[in-house]
Amino acid sequence: MNAPTRALLSLRLAALAVIGLGGVILSQITQISESAGFTVVGPRVFPTIVGSGCLIFGLLFFLRVTVVPDHDLVAEVAAEEQTTDWPTTLLLLVLLVAYAAVLWPLGYVIATTLFFPLSSRILGSQHLRRDLLIGFLIGLIVYLAFTRLLGVRLPAGILSGLL
């Protein structure tokens, strides 16, 4: 398969992925419970907008790369595809899935403390202590801001007695 054909295929797959994401978002909206009282904007509104947007724009993008392919876009994607460091991308994807898997058992602060230096190391950082400190501070500040100021519960995990 030559580079332009592979680039066109990757654009179509990206469009299908966006359509699939929109479908998943919209299918999961029924799992969000509505509040008992009257609210002008309920918790389902924003996910509905995002899911619908993904479906609409994914479909438009798929039609754009299928019906009337943009040859300049295909050439640009083919050139970028050759310079993309796929091992780094795949390692970050695996790390992100692992982060999601340990988020509830370990808690947001610990999971973020571990995620930040690991992702930094994958991207080339050599400063482990600094990255650990930054990861811990980001995790703690975001956790406290969401749980104490915004009232959004993030998982405390094994630190539930301390936080």
Model confidence at 83: pLDDT above 80:
yes
**According to the model, what pLDDT value does residue 112 have?**
97
Span 21-73, pLDDT tens digits: 999 999 999 888 876 666 677 788 899 999 999 999 999 999 999 998 888 88
Residue 82 near residue 3, CB atoms below 8 Å: yes
Please give the distance of CA 58 from its chain centroid, rounded to a whole number: 16
Q: How many CB atoms lie within 10 A of CB 75?
A: 13
Q: Which distant-in-sequence residues (6+ apart) come within 8 Å of 108 by Cβ?
A: 139, 142, 143, 154, 155, 156, 157
**According to the model, what pLDDT value does residue 136 have?**
97
- 93-96 long-range contacts (CB < 8 A, ≥24 apart) are 95/119, 95/122
Please give the distance of CA 75 from its chain centroid, rounded to a whole number: 27
Global pTM reads: 0.69
Burial class (CB in 10 A: 0-12, 13-18, 19+), 116: buried
**According to the model, what pLDDT value does residue 142 have?**
96
All structural domains of the chain with their residue ranges: 3-83, 86-159
Span 95-154, pLDDT tens digits: 999 999 999 999 999 999 999 999 999 999 999 999 999 999 999 999 999 999 988 899
CA distance 122 to 105: 24
